[in-house]
Amino acid sequence: MRLDRYEIKSGDRLLSFEFLSEGPKGKIQKLIQFALVNQDNYYNLAFGDKNPVTGEIDDIAVTDNGDSEKVLATVVAAVYAFCEKYPQAWIYATGSTAARTRLFQMGINKYFDIVEEDFEIFGECENEWERFVKNKK
Amino acid sequence: MKTILEINKTKVPIVRIDKSLNKYDNIVLFPEKVAKAKKAFERLGLPDLKKHSR
């Protein structure tokens, strides 16, 4: 099964990705970045909208372009591309708000059976890492 | 060689390289998130795969 996703572009090192979200609000440039946090192959994953005028990146903006699932599938595709190049990497990801983090959890839940074949997925629970459990309340 | 249909089914996408994106590699675009990731690492370290075996 392959989810509908946008085409992505990247720099040479597959650390920074860009794609265009298309929907009722028009075409919105999105940037995904894998930023090295420390030397233990530990990276932060974040993405947001690129302001076409200032070039600034905004990860708080509510784009509301009606394509959140496709956007998430595109981010997941970038994770696959990144991990092809950096197979030892640990990737930390969280939403800008509790609601967004919840949205991402729901996304993982929905496609857990597909992604767990390829990744070790953990969540932070009461100050500990816990293996991600599908549909856990 | 893979066919287009096979390529379209793969999880790893085709990525077009755009050198103009290289400029972002050395800039932290989301400093608050990176700070949060760093704090989580300092508190929890990395998950222990042996302890949490499937």
The answer to whether B44 faces chain A, any CB pair under 8 Å, is: yes
Would you say A76 and A17 are in contact if contact means Cβ atoms under 8 Å apart? no
The mean pLDDT of chain A is: 90
Rounded to two decimals, the ipTM of the complex is 0.85
- Whether A118 sits inside 8 A of B11 (CB atoms) is yes
Size of interface A-B (CB pairs under 8 A): 123
Q: Give the tens place of pLDDT for each residue, A86-115.
A: 999 999 999 888 888 888 888 888 888 888
Instruction: Give the model's pLDDT for residue A22.
Output: 94
Q: Please state, in angstroms and rounded to a whole number, the distance separating the CA atoms of residues B5 and B24.
A: 33
Q: Give the tens place of pLDDT for each residue, A48-76.
A: 998 888 878 887 777 788 998 899 899 99
Q: Which residue has the tokens 């290289």?
A: B22
- Whether B46 sits inside 8 A of A130 (CB atoms) is no
- Whether A84 sits inside 8 A of B12 (CB atoms) is yes
Instruction: Give the model's pLDDT for residue A105.
Output: 87
**Segment A131-137 mean pLDDT:** 83
Predicted model pTM: 0.89
Q: Please state, in angstroms and rounded to a whole number, the distance separating the CA atoms of residues A89 and A71.
A: 22
Radius of gyration of chain B, Cα coordinates, nearest whole angstrom: 18
Residue of A3, A4, A9, A79 to mutate, interface with B, max B Cβ within 10 Å? A9
Three-class secondary structure of residue B18 per DSSP: coil
Q: Does the pLDDT of residue B6 top 80, yes or no?
A: no
Q: Which residues of A touch B (CB under 8 A)?
A: 2, 5, 7-18, 31, 33, 35, 37-38, 40, 42, 44, 46, 48, 57, 59, 77-78, 80-81, 84, 90, 92, 94, 96, 114, 118, 120, 122, 124, 127-131
- Angstrom CA distances, A126 to A35, A42, A51, stand at 25, 21, 37
% of chain A at pLDDT higher than 70: 98
Q: Please state, in angstroms and rounded to a whole number, the distance separating the CA atoms of residues A95 and A101.
A: 4
More confident residue, B8 or A76: A76
- Whether A46 sits inside 8 A of B22 (CB atoms) is no
Q: What string of DSSP letters covers chain A?
A: -------EEE-TTSSEEEEEEEETTEEEEEEEEEEEEETTTEEEEEEEEEPTTT--EESS-----S-HHHHHHHHHHHHHHHHHH-TT-EEEE--SSHHHHHHHHHHHHHTHHHHTTT---EEEETTEEEE--TT--
Instruction: Give the model's pLDDT for residue B1.
Output: 61
**Segment B15-32 mean pLDDT:** 94
- Whether A37 sits inside 8 A of B34 (CB atoms) is yes
The mean pLDDT of chain B is: 86
Instruction: Give the model's pLDDT for residue A32.
Output: 96
Instruction: Give the model's pLDDT for residue A110.
Output: 85
**Segment A14-18 mean pLDDT:** 97
What is the pairing mode between strands A128-131 and A90-93?
Answer: unpaired
Q: Please name every residue paired with A42 in a beta bridge, in sequence order, or none if there are none.
A: A38, A90
Instruction: Give the model's pLDDT for residue A8.
Output: 96
